[in-house]
């Protein structure tokens, strides 16, 4: 048995999950995960009964209530801004009111809904920079019933996402090399299909109104968090903020209730889009790669630490060597994971209810739905010629991010 992998028994599950329990979460992520798991089985059953051909989600009474509640949250932010302006403009004779007004304006600025911006410190690709990559994204978008994107942000993490940026709500895809590089060709198509499927099917939590309200309520909960009671003043402040804090928490849980089911349905439908674009087999394989992607971060940190153990000119040479072929070594490391380890991770995921984050359905349910749906043949193929051209277009970003990993990931 390879010492890199757990020795376990597939017949009786002996030692299948020897790791430490998952770390304790904060109150908000824990509440969201409980909701996600509660909805997961129900929605998975719906999908397996044929719910995979649904159109856009988020057009029911719960969505309308969530939108109204979000407007109420933003209305409080507007009231803070208006009050702050009045205190600053009209309160100069007291000297105290302008200070309070400035504080309210600062809080309103933090709570306001705002569009995403393109990152300033990471590689951003546009159509002219990577025409074959954008051609691939366009083709996948057409296969799942939506358009492509205006920009691709490349980062080193094991992730992928789509969102909009700027006041004109242009489309952006975040492509994490830590995930992209460990995927076989058709699973890369499935990944693109999943992400673009979010545009095709919709997700109210990704919108600026509802998403902004969720962020605002989470900020309020943080601001109103109790301080250690070291003195009488701390106890008084904690007592005064007790009711507002739990009111905010109740509103946050309510908004989660109103939106999480639609969000999880959107995830399942995005998985259907992944299968339609890349094939059912590729969509199922993508779920397995998500399970092993947890090893990507530690592997990149190990590469960084190993390159920095030497100082001086020898250290520089070691870092330069480590940068070269970093992503190929990562792909080789993950590619060597044997099937029995994948099976163990699938069983552990089912036991622990593993999910990508606190709002996603459990991964083992997503995999089950992907495996039982369809089956779908690939609508988009990723042949060697296309893969080679896309790799050349990504080469500058891969080199820049390899330097960042080797330089910064050692901690």
Query: How big is the chain by its Cα radius of gyration, in Å?
Result: 24
- CA distances (Å), origin 410, targets 178, 279, 292, 313, 314: 16, 38, 21, 18, 17
Task: Report d(CA 70, CA 93) in Å as an integer.
Answer: 36
pLDDT tens-digit profile of 257-274? Answer: 888 888 888 899 999 999
Per-residue model confidence as pLDDT tens digits over 301-311: 999 998 887 65
pLDDT category of residue 142 using cuts at 50, 70 and 90? very high
Q: How confident is the model at residue 57 (pLDDT cuts 50, 70, 90)?
A: low
User: What is the pLDDT confidence band of residue 66, given thresholds at 50, 70 and 90?
Assistant: very high
Cis preceding-peptide flag for 375 (omega within 30 of 0): yes
What pLDDT does residue 203 have? 72
Q: With a cut of 80, say whether residue 16 has pLDDT above it.
A: yes
Q: Where are the alpha helices (DSSP H) in 145-184?
A: 177-180
Lowest mean pLDDT: which of 55-59, 115-119, 267-271, 403-407? 55-59
Burial letters 168-203, b for 16+ CB under 10 A, else e:
eeebbbbbbbbbbbbbbbbbbbbbbbbbbbbbbbbb
Query: Is the pLDDT at 80 greater than 60, yes or no?
Result: yes
- 9 phi and psi angles, rounded to 5 deg: -110, 120
Dist CA 303 CA 406 (whole Å):
7
How many other CB atoms sit within 10 Å of the CB of residue 96? 9
Strand bridging mode 151-155 / 124-125: antiparallel
Local structure of 411: helix, strand or coil: coil
* Average pLDDT, integer, range 36-50: 79
Mean pLDDT of 280-306: 94
Q: 170-176 and 151-155: which strand pairing?
A: parallel
What count of other Cβ atoms lies within 10 Å of the Cβ of residue 112? 15
Is the confidence at residue 189, as pLDDT, over 90? yes
Query: pTM for the complete prediction?
Result: 0.89
Mean pLDDT of 327-338: 95
């Amino acid at each position: 048995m390879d010492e890199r992998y757990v020795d376990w028994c597939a017949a009786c599950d002996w030692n299948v999950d020897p790791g430490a329990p998952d770390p304790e979460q904060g109150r908000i992520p824990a509440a969201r995960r409980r909701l996600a798991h509660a909805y997961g089985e129900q929605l998975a059953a719906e999908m397996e009964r044929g719910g995979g051909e649904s159109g856009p989600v988020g057009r029911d009474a719960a969505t309308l209530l969530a939108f109204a509640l979000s407007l109420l949250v933003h209305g409080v932010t507007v009231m803070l801004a208006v009050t702050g302006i009045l205190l600053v403009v009209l309160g100069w004779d007291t000297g105290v009111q302008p200070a309070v007004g400035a504080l309210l304006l600062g809080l309103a600025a933090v709570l306001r809904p705002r569009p995403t911006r393109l990152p300033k410190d990471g590689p951003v690709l546009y159509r002219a920079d990577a025409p074959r990559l954008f051609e691939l994204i366009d083709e996948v978008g057409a296969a799942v019933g939506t358009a492509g994107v205006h920009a691709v942000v490349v980062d080193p993490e094991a992730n992928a996402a789509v969102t909009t940026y700027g006041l004109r709500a242009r489309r952006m895809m975040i492509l994490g090399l830590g995930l992209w590089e460990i995927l076989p060709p058709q699973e890369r198509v499935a990944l693109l299909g999943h992400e673009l499927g979010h545009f095709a099917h919709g997700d109210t939590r990704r919108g600026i109104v509802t998403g902004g309200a969720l962020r605002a309520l989470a900020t309020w909960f943080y601001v109103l968090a109790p301080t250690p009671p070291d003195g009488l003043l701390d106890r008084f402040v904690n007592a005064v903020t007790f009711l507002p804090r739990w009111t905010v928490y109740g509103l946050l849980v309510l908004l989660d209730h109103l939106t999480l089911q639609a969000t999880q349905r959107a995830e399942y439908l995005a998985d259907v889009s992944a299968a339609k674009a890349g094939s059912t087999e590729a969509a199922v394989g993508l779920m397995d790669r998500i399970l092993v992607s947890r090893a990507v971060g530690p592997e990149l940190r190990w590469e960084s630490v190993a390159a920095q153990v030497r100082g001086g000119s020898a250290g520089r040479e070691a870092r330069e060597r480590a940068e070269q072929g970093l992503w190929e070594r990562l792909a080789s490391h993950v590619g060597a994971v044997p099937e029995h380890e994948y099976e163990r991770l699938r069983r552990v995921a089912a036991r622990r209810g593993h999910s990508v984050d606190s709002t996603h359905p459990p991964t083992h349910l997503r995999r089950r739905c992907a495996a039982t749906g369809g089956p779908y043949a690939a609508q988009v193929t990723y042949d060697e010629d296309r893969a080679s051209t896309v790799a050349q277009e990504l080469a500058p970003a891969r080199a820049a991010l390899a330097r960042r990993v080797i330089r910064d990931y050692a901690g």
